[in-house]
Amino acid sequence: MKQKKTAPRTLPEGTVRRRYHIWGQVQGVGFRYRAKYAAQQLDLTGWVENLDDGTVELEVQGQPDQIKKMFGMIQASEYIQIVGMRQEDLTPDPYARGFSVRGY
């Protein structure tokens, strides 16, 4: 197993980690970069990646209200249209740092 290089941090009360599978007009419209910008502005951690089937997978960790704000910031683009999403709750990760775009 790969060793973590950073020390775990104490997560604020109420921190959640969620993985979303998102479909609609979400590829080729700046979704990943808007997600990264929003996550950085809201101090969220995680990653976002385009999938081969035309959908996007996004994993994010932080406060639920901040995650909701992130989706509002993403959807502020007239080009992005989220038609649906599936959410999976995960165990929060005290080692998580930053927010990245995967699969360039």
The residues annotated with a catalytic role in the active site are 32, 50
* CA–CA separation, 81 and 14 (whole Å): 29
CA atoms within 13 A on the CB side of 62: 22
Place of tokens 């590829």: 27
What is the identity of the amino acid at 69? K
* CA–CA separation, 77 and 36 (whole Å): 14
